[in-house]
Amino acid sequence: MQRLAKPSDYVLQDILGRSQYVLPWEDKLCPGNPTDDPDAGSIEYNEHAIERAHNGGMTIATDPVADAVNAALKTPGEAYRAFADDLSAAYLGRYQFRTDDLDSWPAETKSL
């Protein structure tokens, strides 16, 4: 059975140096989790949960890149926007990894 969220269910958590609200029982990233606003997040999460329940409890097959872009467009705050900017930079070939200190990295890290 799918659990629905209410704004008081959200707990404040530090995610990548930024405070956001998360649902403690939901271990997956999905619409409404995490969120900057528990009121808006609970509405978005509940719509997603109802749609997931209507599909027999199966996760909805979606495009993760499109989901990230859509979340960036409708989520206030900079976390999703920065992520979408990194995705577009990687797609356009403008993203660069810092390798100037590669010589000081441990051997097991270099092999990854």
Residue 25 buriedness (CB in 10 A; 0-12 / 13-18 / 19+):
exposed
Specify the pLDDT at position 61: 60
Alpha helices in the chain (DSSP H): 38-54, 64-74, 79-91, 107-110
The kind and range of the H/E element at 19 are: strand 18-22
pLDDT, one tens digit per residue, over 21-31 is: 999 888 788 89
**Can you give the pTM of this predicted structure?**
0.50
pLDDT, one tens digit per residue, over 85-97 is: 777 787 777 766 6
